[in-house]
Structure formats: C-alpha cells, structure tokens
Amino acid sequence: MKKSTVSATLGIALFLFIAACSKDNGTPTTPTDPPVDTVSTPPPPPTSTELLAAHVWKIDTIAFDANKDGTIDTGVPGGLQPCDMDNTLLFNSDSTGTFDEGVLKCVDTTEQSVPFTWYLKDNDSVVNITGAIPGELHGDINILKLNDSALVMSKPISISNTEVNLIISLKK
C-alpha cells in the first residue's frame, strides 16, 4: 500500500511538472497569430470643410483692419454688444448652414435663425455665403485662419467712402 501511495504521489508530481512546463509564455505558437503592428500611419489632417463643420462657431471679435494687413487696427465704434457676442454660425458639411441670434437679440423682430448656403473656393482660402444673414456675413469672405478652435475671416467693406477690411473672429 505504501508503494502504491508513493507511486501515485510521484505520478501526480510528474504530471504537475510537465503541465507547468507547457504553459503559454506569451509567444505566438501558431502561424495564424497576427503580427504586432508597431508602426501606425497618422490620420490625415482634417479638411477645411471638416474643420468648418466640426463646431458651432461663436462670435469672438468683430473689428476693422484699416491698412488691410490682416490684423485688427481698431474696434467697432461703440464696441460689440452682448446681443452680438452670443450669435453663432453653424456650417454643415452638406454646404448648408444656420446663423443664430443666440439668447440675446439686439432687435426683437429679427429672425432667431437664418439658413444659408456656403461653399469654399480659391483653394479653401475663401468661403462664399449666400443667405439673409445680418451684417456683412455674405458673399465672398477671405479665410485668414481656420483650425480646430478658431475661424478668422476678412471682408472688404466701405465705411464713409473709405475701403477697410472687416475682421470677423469666431471661436468654438
């Protein structure tokens, strides 16, 4: 009886030893395991259309560029009112959009939301907006800056028979 207990114990020990040695050590054991991709290609940068359509753009600054160098020279006389600062533009990727007056309206009879259409031209350096948007946000508007957090545009206008550029800065 002692021999059978010792034999059984040795058999179990040998079985456990063999089982422990055959455990997976993390190396692929079959040719069907996919190789690990250590180099990945970065995604392409977003297009101008994707950047425009990515956010609802809120008015940040509207000012004048008198010498037309692309930088603000002077603010709007009287400054912007809070009712201007909550206005937004939404560009949809299907070339439609919405101008919204925001919570505060400067004139009670103004439409809350106005639809518009838009398209990019001149290698995405100009956006053309068509619609009954208040102010100067219609026609061809030059894009000075467009990224994930800012949209800065410029449009030539005439003030008292003097040509200046209107700078419209929007933020997400």
pLDDT tens, residue by residue, 121-166: 999 999 999 998 888 889 999 999 999 999 999 999 998 899 999 9
Q: Kindly indicate whether the domain formed by 48-171 is annotated with CATH number 1.10.10.60.
A: no
Give the single-character DSSP code of 51.
Answer: H
Q: What is the pLDDT of residue 17?
A: 45
Residues of the chain with pLDDT below 50 are 1, 4-11, 13-19
Domain range list for the chain: 48-171
Q: What is the pLDDT of residue 167?
A: 95
Q: What is the pLDDT of residue 37?
A: 61
**Three-point CA angle 153, 158, 160, nearest 5°:** 140
Q: What is the pLDDT of residue 103?
A: 94
Q: How far apart are alpha carbons 75 and 60 in whole angstroms? A: 12
* Integer CA distances (angstroms), 5 to 8, 9, 11, 17, in order: 5, 6, 10, 18
Say which residue the tokens 């395991």 belong to: 33
Q: What is the pLDDT of residue 86?
A: 94
Q: How far apart are alpha carbons 22 and 34 in whole angstroms? A: 22
Cβ neighbours around 6 below 10 Å, total: 10
Q: How far apart are alpha carbons 116 and 89 in whole angstroms? A: 10
SS3 (DSSP) at 130: strand
Q: What is the pLDDT of residue 34?
A: 64
